[in-house]
Amino acid sequence: MRTKKWFKDGFSGDATVMLTGVSAQASASSFCRATVRWPIDATADQDRRIEALEKNIGKMDEDIGAISRELDQQSAVARERAANEEQMRAQAVAEVRRELIEASVGNFPVLVFGAVWLAVGVVLSTWAPEIAKIAAGNWRSVLSVI
């Protein structure tokens, strides 16, 4: 119903269509907002001039309301995108933190097992001559050195 009235009022010849903004964005998309304004004839009587002003103010209020709704919608979309991005980044940080902890502490038993065998290897390689003497049955010479 409003659309029909807008077409009737806007294109009846009593109104002027003004282009209020054009913007081309880098994404090759663009938008254009056209508004209808009734011309104010300086020679018309006062009632006609006030009527045109009232129509123009009413149309401006509608335009401001439409722009506010559009801005609110775009703000909501931007907030949602930011929240999603924040959540994705928080998940990525948590995953990296978990992997870092697992790499540094998660294989602790393996590191302890390796350290024990390293110690056993050092002892065995250091005492190799003494162990060979004990294996040959010459353990008394080893005891006299210790």
For the chain, the domains span 2-106, 110-146
| 111: alpha, beta or left? (left if phi > 0; alpha if psi -120 to 50) | alpha
Alpha-carbon torsion, ordered 56, 17, 44, 2, to 10 deg? -50
Phi, psi of 22 (to 5 degrees): -135, 135
**What does each C-alpha distance from 10 to 51, 87, 105, 109, 141 come to in angstroms?**
15, 47, 73, 81, 118
Q: What is the pLDDT along the chain (146 residues), one digit of tens a residue?
A: 565 665 566 555 555 555 454 444 445 556 666 777 778 888 889 999 899 899 999 999 999 999 999 999 999 999 999 999 999 999 999 999 998 888 777 777 888 899 999 999 999 998 888 888 888 888 788 777 77
What is the value of pTM for the model shown? Answer: 0.45
